[in-house]
Chain A
Amino acid sequence: MSNIGSIYKPLKAKVDKVITESPTIKTLVLIPEADFSFKTGEFIQLTLNGYGEAPFTPSSSPLEKRRLEVTIMKAGYVTEKVHALKAGEVVGIRGPFGRGYPVEQFYGKEIVIVSGGCGFAPIRSLLYNLMAEKEKFKKVTVCYGAKTPEECIYKPFVDELRKTERFEVYRSVDNADDKWEEKEGVVTILLDDIKVDIKNSVAVVCGPPVMMKFGTMKLLEMGYPGSDIYLSMEKNMSCGLGKCGHCMMGKYFVCKDGPVFTYEEIKNEPDIWL
């Protein structure tokens, strides 16, 4: 009985650092009070003591057990408060929950990643994982889109990625400025220029619902079968345990059965793009 509350009880974690990634996005570097393991793509619940809780997929490497990073856009009740956090404060984490990216199934293949806005957060974790075993993949092509150049996150990481063998990064912004030297337009236009052997590749899509929708449509047009398109779904996950019902998407509990699904698995479920 001593452990009776364990499935709902958060693990305390100290905020070690708060990194401002863009005017609307910050990364919390957390030091959990005990080692914390997760597989890339699985998510956690971040608890603000006595205030509220919200789901995030860690943006740090799954190989790191002592530190955990979550990249969070200011978008609502909990995230406003998250943005006001300072180093030294204590938050709670629960999880990891759900089903992440099946990285082993990507072995020997090319990977095309389509990502937008703060959706780059789970993708960075995936990329750390892929970089750690890069000889197992033919090529990794990252297409990333943001609203403006200043909303592009992880600039040092993108530079590091560009220097890494087998990794290519293409970026676009909806509204460019004079200094922007990459593409202008929605992220899907980047897919027009990439070279990929579709038959031997998988695609990963993560971003705001509307980007996920058009990204997926474009990939299907290019010839990807639905079973090779991996989506990280955004729903109102709460308990993380497949019980509270807030994240139901048809027959699926996104918190337990997802958040990563292939398009094939969920194409007939309601409101997948909200």
Chain B
Amino acid sequence: MESFQIATADWLKALQKLNESFIVYAPVNNGDSIDYEIVGDNNINDIIYNTPKPVTPLKTFFLPVKENVVINKKIHNKNIIMGIPSCDLAGVSLLDEIYLDKDFIDPYYRNVRENSILIGTDCFTTQEHCHCTAYGINPYPEKNNDLSLISLNGSILIFVNTDKGIEIAARIKEVATVHEISSENIKAVQTKREAVKKELKKSYKNLPDYKETGKLIIKSKDAIWEKYAKTCVSCGACATICPTCTCFLLIDRPDFEKVRQLDACQYPGFERIAAGEDPLGRKYVRFRNRYLCKYVWKPEKFESIACTGCGRCIESCIGSINKNELFTELVNKK
């Protein structure tokens, strides 16, 4: 599909125009962290481009922490979500497989998903725990994005990927002067992409790939999990912030209503049955369960991968557990 570039000033005009018909979310720098904010006149100039992941994973737009899933709702607002890095875009594939499973389509998920335009971004820099390339994901948008966008040399480069993207491109063109992407810019993007890939590969050269990790986990002994789970406090931050962890609890409310609330297999009692038996009763077993799920069971059941190498679980762990150190240790023990 098409691609073009426009002057940054034109892009800001286009964004204001889009803001009239959509709720636009974009990554904004809050000082020590980057997160999505609703774009308005107050922050339109603070949007940051070409950067790795915002704190909040993309899944939160489609699966809110708490949502009543029995009451009828009006059609959701139309959203544009900008600045989505490839790790989060890759995560959408698994979400779609689960929540748009043809046997039971989740209407709440589908509603927001269908009413959201996803705009991907290249990552021109990396964060300490980024490791997408270890799992076969490039640090630039390749799937699940309607458009992608790069800010470069005073221009915004726009790549259109879907029919939804064409509609947005048409609206942009109404207020912006469109140019063909210059050959220098194409070259600059290619050079940048290669450099970021190289940087990521260098930092994670000893990390096993996705499939190999699954094999190592199957062969692993309890001791290593006990060792790494020592500082785990079962807070569930790793699962809450993971772009592909989507387990939930159904909470009963009066009038036979039900609230779907984000849950985590790290919480005690997640699998407990009526008589009290609990296969995940021990902390290290729960800790291991999440990785068995991600690297062994989900790949057996679904097409899409269940870890996209975003590194959020490492950043968010208050017990300072680094799963990549664990997997590297498993390689070394082989």
A: residues with CB less than 8 A from B are 1-10, 12, 47-54, 73, 75-76, 78-79, 92, 208-209, 234-236, 238-239, 241-248, 250-252, 256, 270-271, 274
Contacts and interface: CB of A to CB of B under 8 A. Distances in A.
Given A1-B75, A274-B277, A235 B250 contact: no
Contacts of A53: 250, 252
Contacts of B298: 251
Given A4-B73, A242-B98, A248 B297 contact: yes
A12 B203 CA distance: 57
B270 A246 contact: yes
A92 B256 CA distance: 7
23 contacts: A1-B73, A2-B72, A4-B72, A5-B69, A7-B106, A47-B252, A49-B252, A51-B252, A75-B274, A76-B276, A209-B277, A235-B271, A239-B248, A241-B103, A242-B101, A242-B104, A243-B98, A243-B106, A244-B249, A244-B260, A246-B271, A248-B293, A274-B277
Contacts of A79: 274
Interface residues of B, number: 48
A1 B73 CA distance: 8
B247 A49 contact: no
B161 to A, nearest CB: 28
A12 B275 contact: no
A269 to B, nearest CB: 9
Interface in B38-97: 69-75
B273 interface: yes
A91 to B, nearest CB: 9
B250 A8 contact: yes
- List of 10 A-B pairs having minimum Cβ-Cβ separation, nearest first: A245-B247, A271-B279, A76-B274, A251-B300, A75-B274, A50-B254, A241-B104, A8-B69, A5-B70, A274-B277
Contacts of B247: 244-246
A64 B292 CA distance: 42
B260 to A, nearest CB: 7
A53 B111 CA distance: 26
B256 A238 contact: no
Contacts of B254: 49-50
Task: Find the residue from A12, A48, A53, A270 having the highest chain B CB count within 10 A.
Answer: A270
A37 B99 CA distance: 25
Given A1-B75, A236-B271, A244 B104 contact: no
B265 interface: yes
A29 B178 CA distance: 70
B108 interface: yes
Contacts of A245: 246-248, 263, 265, 293
Nearest to B269: A236
A251 B296 CA distance: 8
Contact of B256 (A47, A54, A236): A47
Nearest to A5: B70
Given A52-B252, A242-B98, A243-B99, 5 more contacts: A3-B107, A9-B258, A241-B103, A246-B247, A250-B292
Contacts, number: 129
B246 A243 contact: yes
A256 B277 CA distance: 21
Contact of A49 (B106, B256, B279): B256
B103 A256 contact: yes
Interface of B: 69-75, 98-99, 101, 103-108, 111, 246-250, 252-256, 258, 260, 263, 265, 270-279, 292-293, 296-298, 300-301
Contacts of B71: 5
A54 B247 CA distance: 17
A7 B103 CA distance: 11
Nearest to A12: B256
B91 to A, nearest CB: 16
Contacts of B99: 243
Contacts of B250: 8, 53, 238-239, 244
Given A1-B72, A49-B252, A251 B297 contact: yes
Nearest to B111: A4
Nearest to B71: A5
B252 A8 contact: no
A248 B73 CA distance: 30
Contacts of B263: 244-246
A178 to B, nearest CB: 30
Contacts of A48: 252
A241 B102 CA distance: 11
A7 B104 contact: yes
B246 A49 contact: no
A71 B101 CA distance: 31
B252 A5 contact: no
A243 B293 contact: no
Contacts of A234: 273
Contacts of A3: 107
Contacts of B275: 75-76, 208
A248 B300 CA distance: 13
A6 to B, nearest CB: 7
A9 B259 CA distance: 11
B263 to A, nearest CB: 7
Contact of B258 (A8, A12, A236): A8
Given A243-B99, A243-B248, A5 B272 contact: no
Contacts of B276: 76
Nearest to B109: A243
Task: Find the residue from A9, A78, A252 having the highest chain B CB count within 10 A.
Answer: A9
Given A238-B250, A244-B249, A8 B260 contact: yes
